[in-house]
Every structure is written in structure tokens, then in C-alpha cells.
Chains A and B, each alone.
Chain A
């Protein structure tokens, strides 16, 4: 397997899978502490941690699917236990991403008006609690896949081969399997999602190009605060692409899990995500008002453009270097 992963996918999943649960727990603790101590800085840190956790949860899901693809035919592997875990993880992933999005909106707002809206912070706190609960359950279910001594729950799960009628099978009761079947069998679902994916990438790249060109010295008279206003548009494009991208991945995971360009795409999405957070919250760039940006900000701008372009190129190369279409 030609891969950027040094460890195999299953091992990497075992390393990364602690991030969503422990990370949301830390974010939740920070937000609750901020509530008690009434410190705006703590609120910001809590929201930033939540956003970072939402980004890192992407490779956690991806490596989990890769591990499943590699282990499913092994001896002593419970396919049902894995699918139950996968469905819980998919729900947890969706809630975590939504929590990260709300955290990002709060951070964007606090950069503009000095503090985050109370409603947004409350929503981020509640969502991180829900994410923690679902991810905690997913983690437990994941542990049961191979730890036979705690597999009682999976064995007792209401799954049977007999209740399916004509033309259905046991996987019908799993959300991930149903999404997959829909994406593969529907005539228009895949092309429609691809179209939205391309519109979304154009929107994100256009906005980030404008913001980063400002840091690089094009439009020197424009305050960075004005470019900062374009970030939600970039987020809109990214959100559309995260949703459609996950539809592809859940739809045909085997096309991606062993694909080298897909691995690069995920790695550079992490870098691009870190850049996005930098553009959203950091004070130095914000203070660039009608003057030249600092050298560090220019480095960030170049790396941001490069990271997004690599994400695009790796994505477009998927059908040719990997086995995706």
C-alpha cells in the first residue's frame, strides 16, 4: 500500500480514535470553566479547541473506514459489531462537525465585535456535550469489535438476519449502508453531489484567494477586517464540500481508503483547516490595516493557498492515481 500513513490504517485509527472523545471533553470542560469564571479568553480557547477537534475528527472517521475495509474478512471479526460502531461514529462525526461549525461562527463573530454571542457559546457547549455522549458510545462500541470480553452489548443488539423481506438484507438497518446504497444506485445522487462539490470548491478557493492575496500585498489599502468578512462564504463552500465529500466517502469507502491521493487530501485538509482558524482569529493579521502584513502572515497566506490547491489537485487526481471514479 503506497501511503503517507506510516502506520497501517487500523493502527492509526487506534491512535486517533481517542481524539474526538477526549478532545470534546477538554473543550466542554474549558467552556464550562469559562462559564463559571466568566473569562472571555477561556471561551475563545474552548471554542478553538472544539474547532480543531472537529477537523481532526475527519481522519478519525476515514481511518476507521480503512480499518474496517482491511479487517472485515479476518477471523474473529464481528461485522455487525463494526457496523453498529460505524453508525454511531457517523452520527458522532456529524454532531462534532456541527459543533465545530457553531464554534467557528462564534469565533468569527468575536473577532469582529470583541466577544462571542452568548447564544452561540451556549449552543457550542450543548453540542459538544451531545457529541461527547455519542462519540463516547461509538468508542465503547468500537472497543467491542475486538475486545471479546466486553462484547456483550453487541451480541445482545437487536440485529437479526431473519426480519428482512424480499430484496432486503441485514445491512438495511444501518444508516451508513443505506447512504452507500443510495449513492451507488441513484442515477442522479452522485452527479448532483459532484456538481455541488465543484461549485463549493470554486466558492472556497475564490474567497480564500482574495483573503490571502490581501496578506500578500495585493489591495494594500483594504483593511484585513473587510477581507475577514469573506470567511463565512469560504465556510459555506467548505460546508457544502464536507457534506458532499462525506456522501462520496460513505457511499464508496473502498474507493478511497487505500488511495494515496486521498490520504494526501486529508493531510492537507488538516493544514488548510489550521490556516482557516488562523485567518479567523489571529490578532496580528487582523491588525494589518492599510499596511503591509508581517512576514509570518505572508507565510501563512502562501501555505493556505498551497494547501487548498493541493486538496483540489489530490481530489481531482483520485480517479487516476487511486481507484476512485
Chain B
């Protein structure tokens, strides 16, 4: 179980960290770098999500009834789903962008902010589960 938990944390770091790299780019950090260079982010996010889905299910199975009925856990799941949901439109936007300098639309900037906030909330909720759900 310690190994599973450690993998879950490593997956989180890659998944959330890579998402934030792209979100910061969308918000204007390094805006001279064409968006097409950030396609690797989706590979990193996919790997992180896959690892954390598998390890998350394993962690859930250890105490399915406990987790399934714990309100804080459901809140965390909500944040995870919301965070992951922001990736899809961002991915579509980035993959469709040309090789030139792209002006990011305000809608995409809002998505980037939503992504940063939702991932922070998911990490916070996940970490606090250790203290809220015995």
C-alpha cells in the first residue's frame, strides 16, 4: 500500500505539474513560444491520469464502503473530474493552434485559470482526506 500511495503522489505531481506548465503558458508566461510546442503536456497528463486512476482504484478498494460514503472523498472526486474536464477543451485549442505566435482568447484564459484552481482544490481535498476520513 505504501508503494501504491507513493505512485499516486508521483502521478499527481506529473499530472498537476504538467497541467500548470501549460496553464501558465496560456496565461501569458512565455507567450512567444508557439503553443504547438506544448503537445508533450498531454502525454504527461495522460500518463499521470492513467497511473492515478489505477492506483486510485486500488486505494479505494482497500476501504470501498468507507471512501464511498465519505463526503470529503466525493468532494475530491468532483474536483478531479472538474479538473480533468478542463483539459479536453484546452487540448482541442492547443492542437488546433498554428505554429505562429498565438494570441490566446479570453475564454481559453478563463479555462486555464479554472484548471489551476480546480487542480489546487483536488490536491488540497486529496491531501486532507488523510485527516478527515479515518
Residues of A within 8 A of B (CB): 191, 194-195, 198-199, 201-207, 209-210, 213, 218-219, 221-222, 226, 229-230, 233, 309, 312-313, 316-317, 319-321
B-side contacts of A320, CB under 8 Å: 2
Pairwise interchain contact A202-B16, C-beta atoms closer than 8 A: yes
Provide the bound-state CA to CA distance between A317 and B34, in Å: 39
B7-42 Cβ-contact flags toward A at 8 Å (1 or 0): 001101110111111001000011011100110100
Across the interface, do B32 and A205 meet the contact criterion of CB distance under 8 Å?
A: no
Q: Are B10's CB and A219's CB within 8 A?
A: no
25 pairs from A and B in contact (CB 8 Å cutoff) = A191-B128, A191-B130, A198-B9, A198-B12, A198-B127, A201-B13, A202-B12, A202-B123, A205-B17, A206-B19, A207-B17, A209-B14, A209-B18, A209-B21, A210-B21, A219-B37, A222-B33, A226-B32, A230-B30, A312-B9, A312-B13, A313-B10, A316-B5, A316-B10, A319-B2
Instruction: Judge whether A202 and B6 touch: CB under 8 Å.
Output: no
Known: A206-B21, A309-B10. A199 touches B124 (CB 8 A): yes
Q: Is B44 an interface residue (CB 8 A)?
A: yes
Complex Cα distance, B29 from A204, in Å, reads: 16
Which of B2, B6, B17, B40 is in CB contact (< 8 Å) with A218? B40
B97 contacts the other chain (CB 8 A) = no
Using known A-B contacts A195-B128, A313-B10, determine if residue A206 contacts B16 with beta carbons closer than 8 Å.
yes
A202 to B10, CA, bound (A): 9
**Interface pair B127/A195, CB less than 8 Å apart:** yes
Main secondary structure of the interface of A (DSSP, over half): helix
Q: Are B2 and A230 in contact (CB under 8 A)?
A: no
Known: A199-B120, A202-B123, A222-B33. A316 touches B9 (CB 8 A): yes
State which residues 82-134 of B face A: CB under 8 Å: 119-120, 123-124, 126-128, 130-131
- B17 and A204 within 8 A (CB): yes
Nearest Cβ in chain B — how far from A269, in angstroms? 15
Closest 7 CB pairs of A and B: A206-B17, A320-B2, A202-B16, A205-B13, A316-B6, A219-B37, A191-B131
| Chain A residue contacts of B17, Cβ below 8 A | 202-207, 209
Min C-beta distance of A100 to chain B, whole Å: 23
Contact check, A199 vs B123: say whether CB atoms are below 8 A apart.
yes
In the complex, what's the smallest C-beta–C-beta distance from A192 to chain B, in angstroms? 9
- Taken together as a complex, chains A and B put the C-alpha atoms of A230 and B19 apart, in Å, by 14
- Determine the chain A residues whose CB is within 8 A of the CB of B123 once the complex forms: 195, 198-199, 202
Known A209-B21, A210-B18: A230·B29 in contact at CB below 8 Å: yes
A219 to B44, CA, bound (A): 14
CB neighbours of A218 from chain B (8 A): 40
B83 CB to nearest A CB, Å:
12
Cβ-defined partner of A230 (8 Å) among B6, B16, B21, B130:
B21
Contact assessment for A195 and B124 in the assembled complex, using a CB-CB cutoff below 8 Å: yes
Chain B residues with CB under 8 Å of A209's CB are: 14, 17-18, 21, 44
Q: Within the assembled complex, what's the spacing in Å between the Cα atoms of A320 and B120?
A: 26
Give the shortest distance, in Å, between A190 (CB) and chain B (any CB): 8
Instruction: Tell me the bound Cα distance from A195 to B124 in angstroms.
Output: 5
Residues of A within 8 A of B120 (CB): 199
Q: A202-B20, A221-B34 are in contact. List 19 more A-B contacts (CB 8 A).
A: A191-B128, A195-B128, A198-B12, A198-B123, A199-B120, A199-B123, A199-B124, A205-B17, A206-B19, A209-B44, A210-B21, A226-B30, A226-B32, A229-B29, A229-B30, A230-B29, A313-B6, A316-B10, A317-B2
